[in-house]
Structure 1
Amino acid sequence: MTPSALKSWAEVAPRLIAVAAGRESADLVIRQGIWVNVQSRELLPNHDIAIADGRIAYVGPDARHCTGPETEVIEAAGRYMLPGLCDGHMHIESGMLTPAEFARAVIPHGTTTMFTDPHEIANVLGLAGVKLMHDEALMQPVNIFTQMPSCAPSAPGLETTGFEITPEDVAEAMHWPGIVGLGEMMNFPGVVAGDTKMLAEMAATQAAGKTVGGHYASPDLGPAFHAYAAGGPADDHEGTAESDAMARVRQGMRAMLRLGSAWYDVESQITAVTERGLDPRNFILCTDDCHSGTLVNEGHMNRVVRHAIACGCDPLVALQMATVNTAAHFGLERELGSIAPGRRADVILSSDLRTLPVELVIARGRVVAEAGRITVDCPHLDWPETARASVHLGKTLAPGDFEIAAPEGANHVRAKVIGVVENQAPTKALAADLPVAEGLVEATGEICQIALVERHRGTGGVTNAFVQGFGYEGRMAMASTVAHDSHHMIVVGTDREEMARAANRLGEVGGGVVLFAEGEEKALVELPIAGLMSDDHAETVAAKAEALGAAMQAAGCKLNNAYMQHSLLALVVIPELRISDKGLVDVRTFELVPLIEEVLQ
């Protein structure tokens, strides 16, 4: 399987040369626009672009010598001609969509290249799931490259996944046509400790001449950070402060600044460029995680570029961070990321560089979206039944499965509590004094119960703990089979009957997100593929997700994009406190810790 309708440079070079020289006619000419040259950081008015066989043949002040009677001509009419936007790090599954439907959602926003890490499906379906994502990605009319997931499980010994990824899996995938590197190396303690499995995965990637993705989710910039940088990761998107971005680029890594649905890490780091004056060529913009509602209602990489500009970044620099910088990082600067001869003809027409309205999108030399509407098909893979039957609870859950027994004789206890931080991936390790009633520890005030329900092997296992920050009120529960990265089921609620009801509902529909309140189902987003994705259109999924958000607000939640916070509560590689099928995990020390700290009389 090869990228859809695209020939290699070697195959088309003779024609590109002939078109540029005027011996042959171009397939398409874009006339008289402002050339946004991200190579030289210039705006060059009154230029033409000539395209042949899906690639750029000529960029100059007059392409009439390339234009014949059969050449299609698009009048730019003084608009900006900029390269298609690239997302340097992202997870398609976070959009609750398949690669085809994700592409369909983002193409009208000007995204023509994505570097994706399908480690969500890797945790559920293993290498076979990665291959399915890879294969559908290659069918699309835009460029979707795949990074082979590196860490499933993300923290060995602290969680159990549906499948594990091995160094042998990584070495095999490096030969697939759409693989561009290794996905984010989340097991940073393993790298720092010299874990042989992690080093073998990175060695296989580097032996293939491909890029190792990074993920250093720790504020410690001392010896541990330097050891991680020495291990080989070439980039990192987990920075949240200016000092993080500066440390990474100084050590030869690319700093990836993310703006996802719930991660707002651009503003706090881009000052390394705008105020400190660091060379911007080693900075890349990305989304990491965007759900369908954000894609449909707000945008994708165009949203990130606009935000970077609003944070004080020069528009041309921001565009470099979303085009040529990204392409260069993955060794593809001669293939994409700029409007220059030989590159894939991925071009956006826009009337304003700051607000960035995406008026026309061309990918591989053909119009794929106009005025916010897609104009091409995004082919679907025939997803097998094995991918649609991934939720195995092993039993019907009962309220008793969500009880937290108190130590004998206790009237009150001090318990660890996961503290949600709005708009950020990290949590806080909190503690609270909680009452005991009839031998059970009870959540009070703003504290809810949280449970992780095993869903890969049907063990019937349930891990219970406490969480604070959602603000839920009344009798309610929300359950999700999207639970980064092990993707068991996370249930958060104020009532154990509602928690059982929500969990069982997801078992019935084969995965998704559901919210119950006062005994009634208030919202449901079905995600039948691996319990992570829907193959419905993005607009349909976004509407259901919007109804879910409204139901969460009606239940008392006031957090921005709280669903993203919910889905990350099992991510045992980001501090400080998380939940897994093995218990409560202190990610500061990477140890399992007891829920009850102290018995209070």
Structure 2
Amino acid sequence: MTHASFPTWPDSASRLIAVATGRAPADTVIQGGTWVNVHTREILDHHDIAIVDGRIACVVPDASHCIGPDTRIIAAQGRYMVPGLCDGHMHIESGMLTPAEFARAVIPHGTTSMFTDPHEIANVLGLEGVRMMHDEALMQPVNIFTQMPSCAPSAPGMETTGFEITAEDVAEAMQWPGIIGLGEMMNFPGVSNADPKMLAEMAATQNAGKTVGGHYASPDLGPAFAGYVAGGPADDHEGTCEEDAIARMRQGMRSMIRLGSAWYDVETQITAITGKGLDPRNMILCTDDCHSGTLVNDGHMNRVVRHAIDCGCDPVVALQMATINTATHFGLEREIGSLTPGRRADVILTSDLTTLPIETVIARGQIVAEDGKCLVECPHYNWPAKARQTVHMGKVLAADDFAIPAPSGANAVRANVIGVVENQAPTKALQFELPVTEGRVQATGEVCQIALVERHRATGSVTNAFVSGFGYEGPMAMASTVAHDSHHMIVVGTDAAHMALAANRLGEVGGGIVIFKDGIETALVELPIAGLMSDQPARDIAAKTDKMMQAMRDCGCTLNNAYMQHSLLALVVIPELRISDLGLVDVRSFDFIPVIEPLS
């Protein structure tokens, strides 16, 4: 049964009533559990849940009146009955997996609803790519709701994407069955300055009665923030401190606090609830970006809830932030997010609310996972050749393409350098004095070279700059066609010849991530779909990802989840410095700045 054809509550109302009153038997009864009620924040012993047509008919102390000869009994044995977990903001492509394989990976972790923004594929394949993601999402046995991407490019004039998303595209997508709202509005200066295109996209969404997602990545909480909120975005996940969370909630936004593979923003913001005592209804837990290694080895939303609890949050409050709060925000509180009549029967059985072991997962009334194993099929979309042939470099690159010429006669220069910040999306704007050899600026010490290779229109262009913080040593290079959000090819390295090797290798395999060290390929993750995803199982991709991350460590990098840092270095809507195909961008002012300056 697809998401699109799942019976509505009105379609099932007569059967729900018949089962609840005992006039007809339930399809399934979960018997003898402890009901975690996220509406009232109560834990209620000795309750049963009767299910029919994939929806909850009733939750009562004794549902024996709902049991017929063919009713399936699931013995809860006193375990906690918890609503299936919801991820309020995420990008499936960050898992390097298609929606089907992402679903198969997270179902055993208790995630039964996801609110996904496929703006990665939108930058590569436009509206057609969004439709492919949307259609595969509808095929899954759990709920994958799609937000129509809002910003491709994320910052007009600052980068060149494979495709652009228009207000007309947004209006069209709002009619699709799986579209729940507008994806994160990353062009926050555009909103604050009342850009007509941004306003038209938000108007199309609001006119359709759907939710506008936010992305305010500036520390400025003055008039620019006020203008952004006035424009319509209803949530934000870019906060990094308690002040950010409080400011958003006070202005009527939902503060989405994230724990992804590299973003650790829960501990610093949840204190608005645990310390300041603000109303937790306006805070939502999410992941934003999780790669396959995290999904396989650490978990998904169950990991985020456990972390929130470890940070001092009451377990039931943490569960509210991952269930009913999320559902309410998107207008789905009558569909998902709680174990109450009429809602989809998305249930987790767990023996402990603090450590949250995910023992049994039920989605739409069917057991979909037990003891960490997915028990259902997750159907695949038939991805066309167009989606598998997206790396167009225009030429074979050479070391000279990665050279940065120095001013005539200079022995040294001052370089503007992107500074990586561990476990956070923002970077620092740094300056270093770098030496010049044979007329070329040299990366040295803690500074590496970074390049963006254009891969959408086969222009053959390479933009070069410098980055600090990875700690790479010896001749090496790492290249990736995952380069948020325009998804050209990012290459970071200590040696121009290695950078050319890495870039050309990705051209050969059609996208992915590769590392070369001392002239040898030490890791390769093939991502043939849009250069972003694989339709192979998560465990296989996770194994390759683990090898890739070990290869980064072998090159001297000790950063936590350095790959995520690498993939975001072209995200020109998060301060302070980023690289695009058009140059080095100072996101604080949205201006291009020179890579090198003469020493004064």
**Which TM-score band (shorter chain)?**
over 0.9
Give the paired residue count. 600
Report the alpha carbon displacement of residue 466 of structure 1 after superposing the two structures with TM. Answer: 0.3
User: Secondary structure of 1:10's match?
Assistant: helix
User: Are 2:208 and 1:216 aligned?
Assistant: no
Contact 2:348 2:361 in 1 (8 A): yes
**Residues of 1 paired with 2:555 and 2:250: CA distance?**
46
**Residues of 1 paired with 2:142 and 2:231: CA distance?**
33
User: Secondary structure of 1:261's match?
Assistant: coil
1:393 alignment counterpart: 393
Give the counterpart letter for 1:52 in structure 2: V
**Residues of 2 paired with 1:36 and 1:290: CA distance?**
27
Give the counterpart letter for 1:103 in structure 2: A
1:530 alignment counterpart: 530
1:205 alignment counterpart: 205
User: Secondary structure of 2:592's match?
Assistant: strand
Deviations 1:47-80 (A, max 9, x none): 0000000000010100000001100001100100
Deviations 1:481-531 (A, max 9, x none): 000000000000000000000000000000000000011000000000000
Contact 1:174 1:205 in 2 (8 A): yes
Deviations 1:262-283 (A, max 9, x none): 0000000000000000000000
1:64 alignment counterpart: 64
2:514 alignment counterpart: 514
Report the alpha carbon displacement of residue 151 of structure 1 after superposing the two structures with TM. Answer: 0.0
2:343 alignment counterpart: 343
Q: Percent identity?
A: 77
1:355 alignment counterpart: 355
Give the counterpart letter for 1:199 in structure 2: L
Deviations 1:354-386 (A, max 9, x none): 000000000000000000000000000000000
Contact 2:2 2:141 in 1 (8 A): no
1:133 alignment counterpart: 133
User: Secondary structure of 1:245's match?
Assistant: helix
1:443 alignment counterpart: 443
Report the alpha carbon displacement of residue 126 of structure 1 after superposing the two structures with TM. Answer: 0.1
2:192 alignment counterpart: 192
Aligned 1:321-340 pairs, distance under 5 A: 321-340=321-340
**Residues of 1 paired with 2:382 and 2:480: CA distance?**
25
**Residues of 1 paired with 2:549 and 2:326: CA distance?**
33
Give the counterpart letter for 1:457 in structure 2: R
Contact 2:93 2:532 in 1 (8 A): yes
2:115 alignment counterpart: 115
Deviations 1:168-209 (A, max 9, x none): 000000000000000000000000011000000000000000
Give the counterpart letter for 1:152 in structure 2: A
Contact 1:4 1:141 in 2 (8 A): no
1:407 alignment counterpart: 407
**Which residues of structure 2 form unaligned runs of 5+?**
none
1:582 alignment counterpart: 582
How large is the Cα RMSD of the aligned pairs? Answer: 0.7
**Residues of 2 paired with 1:4 and 1:74: CA distance?**
27
Contact 1:407 1:599 in 2 (8 A): no
Give the counterpart letter for 1:18 in structure 2: A
1:8 alignment counterpart: 8
Q: Which runs of 4+ in 1 moved over 4 A?
A: none
Report the alpha carbon displacement of residue 4 of structure 1 after superposing the two structures with TM. Answer: 6.0
Contact 1:4 1:140 in 2 (8 A): no
Aligned 1:484-563 pairs, distance under 5 A: 484-563=484-563
State TM-score, norm by structure 1: 0.99
State TM-score, norm by structure 2: 1.00
Deviations 1:436-480 (A, max 9, x none): 000000011011000000000000000000000000001000000
1:467 alignment counterpart: 467
**Residues of 2 paired with 1:132 and 1:4: CA distance?**
14
**Residues of 1 paired with 2:557 and 2:390: CA distance?**
29
User: Secondary structure of 1:529's match?
Assistant: coil
**Residues of 2 paired with 1:2 and 1:559: CA distance?**
41
Give the counterpart letter for 1:480 in structure 2: S
Give the counterpart letter for 1:194 in structure 2: A
Contact 2:4 2:178 in 1 (8 A): no
Contact 1:347 1:363 in 2 (8 A): yes
Give the counterpart letter for 1:58 in structure 2: C
**Residues of 1 paired with 2:405 and 2:213: CA distance?**
42
**Residues of 1 paired with 2:37 and 2:5: CA distance?**
26
User: Are 2:423 and 1:423 aligned?
Assistant: yes
**Residues of 2 paired with 1:545 and 1:565: CA distance?**
14
Change (3 A) 1:511 1:560: same
Report the alpha carbon displacement of residue 5 of structure 1 after superposing the two structures with TM. Answer: 6.0
**Residues of 2 paired with 1:208 and 1:103: CA distance?**
27
Contact 2:254 2:282 in 1 (8 A): yes
Give the counterpart letter for 1:388 in structure 2: R
Give the counterpart letter for 1:68 in structure 2: G
2:372 alignment counterpart: 372
**Which residues of structure 1 form unaligned runs of 5+?**
none
**Residues of 1 paired with 2:536 and 2:188: CA distance?**
36
2:564 alignment counterpart: 564
User: Secondary structure of 2:599's match?
Assistant: strand
1:178 alignment counterpart: 178
User: Secondary structure of 1:281's match?
Assistant: helix
Report the alpha carbon displacement of residue 3 of structure 1 after superposing the two structures with TM. Answer: 1.3
